[in-house]
Amino acid sequence: MGATILDVAKLCGYSKTTISRAFASPEKVSEKTRTIIYKAAKEINYTPDAIARAMVRKKTDNIGFIVADQQYPVVLNPFYSPVFEGVLRTCKEKGYSVFIASESDIHISTGQVYMKKQMDGVIICGQTDKATIESFKSQNIPVVLLNNIIDMDDLVCVAVDNYNGTVQAVEHLIQRGHVDIAIISGNFSPNVYNARYRAFVDTMKKHGLEIDERFVKRVEPSLEASMECTTQLLAQKREPTAIFATNDVIAIGAMKVALRAGYKLPEDLAIVGFDDSDYSEIVEPELSTVRINKLEIGKVASERLIEIIEGKAAEKEVILSETTLLVRATS
23 with 53: CB under 8 angstroms? no
- Cα–Cα distance, 297 to 318 (Å, whole number): 12
Cα 188–chain centre separation: 14
- The number of beta carbons lying within 10 Å of the beta carbon of residue 153 is 8
Nearest to a second copy of 116, 205 (CB atom): 116
Residue type (1 letter), 109: S
Burial of residue 298 (number of CB atoms within 10 Å: 0-12, 13-18, 19+) = buried
- Cα–Cα distance, 258 to 279 (Å, whole number): 17
Candidate residues 38, 43, 56, 210; the one interacting with DNA per rule CB under 7 A: 56
Candidate residues 10, 48, 179, 320; the one interacting with DNA per rule CB under 7 A: 48
- Cα–Cα distance, 299 to 319 (Å, whole number): 12
Residues 154-173 within binding reach of a second copy (CB under 8 A): none
Q: Which of 247, 263, 244 is nearest to 172 (CA)?
A: 244
210 with 201: CB under 8 angstroms? no
Residue 230's binding partner among DNA, a second copy, none (Cβ under 5 to 8 angstroms by kind) is none
Candidate residues 48, 187, 194, 320; the one interacting with a second copy per rule CB under 8 A: 48
| Residue 36 touches a second copy, criterion: CB under 8 A | no
The window from 10-18, 135-143, 283-291, 300-308 that contacts DNA (CB under 7 A) reads 10-18
Nearest to a second copy of 139, 324 (CB atom): 139
- 103: phi then psi, degrees, rounded to nearest 5: -55, -35
Residue 328's binding partner among DNA, a second copy, none (Cβ under 5 to 8 angstroms by kind) is none
Nearest to DNA of 49, 284 (CB atom): 49
Candidate residues 4, 54, 180, 189; the one interacting with a second copy per rule CB under 8 A: 54
The window from 134-142, 173-181, 206-214, 309-317 that contacts a second copy (CB under 8 A) reads 134-142
Residues 55-74 within binding reach of a second copy (CB under 8 A): 55, 60, 62, 73-74
DSSP state of 140: T
- Cα–Cα distance, 266 to 243 (Å, whole number): 10
Q: How many CA atoms lie within 13 A of 289 on its CB side?
A: 26
Candidate residues 6, 100, 261, 318; the one interacting with a second copy per rule CB under 8 A: 100
Q: Which of 240, 167, 181, 237 is nearest to 209 (CA)?
A: 181
Residues 199-258 within binding reach of a second copy (CB under 8 A): 223, 252, 255-256
Cα 328–chain centre separation: 24
| Residue 32 touches DNA, criterion: CB under 7 A | yes
The window from 5-13, 46-54, 214-222, 318-326 that contacts a second copy (CB under 8 A) reads 46-54
212 with 233: CB under 8 angstroms? no
Candidate residues 35, 43, 49, 70; the one interacting with DNA per rule CB under 7 A: 49
- Cα–Cα distances in Å, from 9 out to 182, 214, 309? 73, 78, 33
Binding stretches for DNA (CB under 7 A): 2, 4-6, 13-18, 20-21, 23-25, 28-30, 32-33, 46, 48-49, 52-53, 55-58
Binding stretches for a second copy (CB under 8 A): 1-2, 22-23, 26, 38, 41-42, 45, 47-52, 54-55, 60, 62, 73-76, 78, 81-82, 84-85, 88, 92, 97-102, 104-105, 108-110, 112-118, 135, 138-140, 223, 252, 255-256, 259-260, 278-279, 281-284
